[in-house]
Structure 1
Amino acid sequence: MAIYKPTIPVTSIDGGLREGKSVIIIGWILPDANRLHVNLQCGSDSEADIALHISPRYENGSPNIVYNTYKNGSWGSEQSTPDSPIIKGKLFAIEILVTKEAYKISANGKHLMDYKHRIPITKVNTISLDQNIKLEFIGYQNSLVVPYKTLINGGLQPGSSILIFGVPNTDSKRIEFNLRHRYGIAFHYLCLFDENVVVRNTSENGKWEAEERSRGVPFIKGQLFQVKISCNRGYYDVFVNGQQAHTYKHRFTKLEDIDVFEVYGQLQLIFVHV
């Protein structure tokens, strides 16, 4: 997986596109934007062919998304979807899954469109973003499946952090994040929707310690979230959508031995950066 945080609205796609690869764009729409674009292009110049043009539009009080292709100097026939889930001033995540026949386009976990290829994916090598997008991340990855597990190379260190973007299912019962080492779980973060409770704990050799519990699950079913777990010298900070949600003191202090991150529960996992 490659991750970028570019400072310009054009970036190259390392290795180009291929079947099974997803392009993830995460950011905010500036509040005064009327229309904007995300383009998968064949080159970076202003006249480059555009294999996929995704254009959220907010004119006339009816948000929608338009899709098209620009080839040999001309636009093709437009396709569109109403009721855009991409809202001005709020966090959004667009996922473009490349398949043999089409781009499968989703936003905030909601499937929007299967857009059939009009230009071969082998020619696509650049992403262009509108300047009305305040970009958080662009990532290229295979689709993520829950339960999810990934290694933390070299273990945790003070100052390191983990970013998670996802959407709880509308019928979600629980969401769980674990920072694990060889003998147990250093930090267990569990959200129970039915009880509206967040549980934090540590386990070693199969034995759980005393729970920390607090009311108020910081997620809303069906809505995109951003979680940042920051590792400090004496504690973890958990931020949800930019706001501090919880602090948890280290009980397992050999941070370098914490080498696995896990996600469980009923959610669509969009992007993880460890």
Structure 2
Amino acid sequence: MSIEGGLQEGKSVMLIGRILPDANRLHVNLQCGSDSEADIALHINPSYEKGSANIVYNTYQNGSWSSKQSTSDSPIIKDKLFVIEILVTKEAYKISANGKPLMDYKHLIPITQVNTILVDKNIKLEFIGYQNSLVVPYKTLINGGLQPGNRILIYGVPNTDSKRVEFNLRHRYGIAFHYLSLFDENVVVRNTSENGKWGAEERSGGMPFIKGQLFQVKISCSAEQYDVSVNDQQAHTYKHRFTKLEDIDVFEVYGELQLFFVHV
């Protein structure tokens, strides 16, 4: 992936994906060009050889590698969803995975020379981009309104002290679908609000989220209901009470969490 204009301070490179189960070594590179001999400003190399799970960081310049640095106890696990975020600062790359800080890697090559992201084929990418984490509370428009067949994807990590994770699908007069997970009560609440009045709650025990652990949520809309899955496991269904789906044009996220990516 090319980065038009090179890297900029204050912005992040973000990757979401899974490592294939038979992979032993792989890499993510920030490079000065795309050819095989290009300088590599930042080489991130999770390694699983001999049962270890550590990450090596390095720079390749003028045909040779610099002194490598490493971190152990990697949060990047084979065949599990992960997020790597690389925040570009004036002094260093601040690297984190699944919301956990890993390394401040000082620049050895000017960031203005970096224009390419190269990802190993052993990583099955779900998203790659050049953007910052999203700020919670978060709100985005659904262009043209919701339609049967639409799917919303959300990636995030609840804080270790999180009380709730909340998603809302809104329209002009209220909330068509309210999905609220309460950690202290170990319960998920679903409801609809119109003209300031809530309907009867649907509640069920069991929390689909774990504090400090990455989640992927899919909210799928059919003609009859919403289907919610968390980390590819079916979690809940909710039949439409507000049926004018085309009027549902806002998606919201609330709670104490890091929010990495939303696609509507």
TM-score grouping bracket, smaller chain normalisation: over 0.9
1:4 aligns to what?
none
CA distance in 1, matches of 2:89, 2:130: 14
CA distance in 1, matches of 2:3, 2:229: 30
1:92 aligns to what?
82
CA positional deviation for 1:14? 4.3
Q: Does 1:22 align with 2:12?
A: yes
CA positional deviation for 1:15? 4.7
What do residues 26-73 of structure 1 show as CA deviations (whole Å, max 9, x unaligned)? 111122222110111111111111111110111232211111111111
1:8 aligns to what?
none
The DSSP-based 3-state class of the residue aligned with 1:142 is coil
The DSSP-based 3-state class of the residue aligned with 1:122 is helix
**Among the aligned pairs, what percent are the same residue?**
86
Identify the match of residue 102 of structure 1 among 61, 69, 92: 92
CA distance in 2, matches of 1:60, 1:123: 36
CA positional deviation for 1:96? 1.0
What do residues 67-116 of structure 1 show as CA deviations (whole Å, max 9, x unaligned)? 11111111112111111000112111111112222211110110111112
CA positional deviation for 1:122? 2.0
CA distance in 2, matches of 1:271, 1:246: 21
The DSSP-based 3-state class of the residue aligned with 2:7 is coil
1:135 aligns to what?
125
Q: Which runs of 4+ in 1 moved over 4 A?
A: none
The DSSP-based 3-state class of the residue aligned with 1:104 is strand
1:7 aligns to what?
none
Say whether the 8 Å CA contact 1:175–1:264 is kept in structure 2. yes
2:146 aligns to what?
156
TM-score of the two chains, using structure 1 as the length reference? 0.92
1:176-215 matched pairs, under 5 angstroms: 176-215=166-205
2:68 aligns to what?
78
1:273 aligns to what?
263
1:173 aligns to what?
163
CA positional deviation for 1:12? 2.0
CA distance in 2, matches of 1:148, 1:260: 10
The range that moved more, 45-54 or 58-67, is 58-67
The range that moved more, 42-51 or 15-24, is 15-24
1:13-52 matched pairs, under 5 angstroms: 13-52=3-42
CA distance in 2, matches of 1:102, 1:151: 34
CA positional deviation for 1:236? 1.0
The DSSP-based 3-state class of the residue aligned with 1:100 is coil
The DSSP-based 3-state class of the residue aligned with 2:112 is helix
TM-score of the two chains, using structure 2 as the length reference? 0.95
The range that moved more, 249-258 or 188-197, is 249-258
The one-letter code sitting in structure 1 at the alignment partner of 2:85 is E
CA positional deviation for 1:257? 1.9
What do residues 151-191 of structure 1 show as CA deviations (whole Å, max 9, x unaligned)? 22222122111111111112221110111112211110000
2:43 aligns to what?
53
CA distance in 2, matches of 1:272, 1:103: 24
CA distance in 2, matches of 1:243, 1:86: 20
CA distance in 1, matches of 2:126, 2:208: 21
Question: Number of paired residues?
Answer: 264
Identify the match of residue 106 of structure 2 among 76, 91, 116: 116
| Runs of 5+ consecutive residues of structure 1 not aligned to the other structure | 1-10
Query: What is the Cα-based RMSD across aligned positions, in Å?
Result: 1.4
CA distance in 2, matches of 1:72, 1:233: 59
CA distance in 1, matches of 2:141, 2:131: 15
Say whether the 8 Å CA contact 1:104–1:114 is kept in structure 2. yes
CA distance in 1, matches of 2:115, 2:7: 7
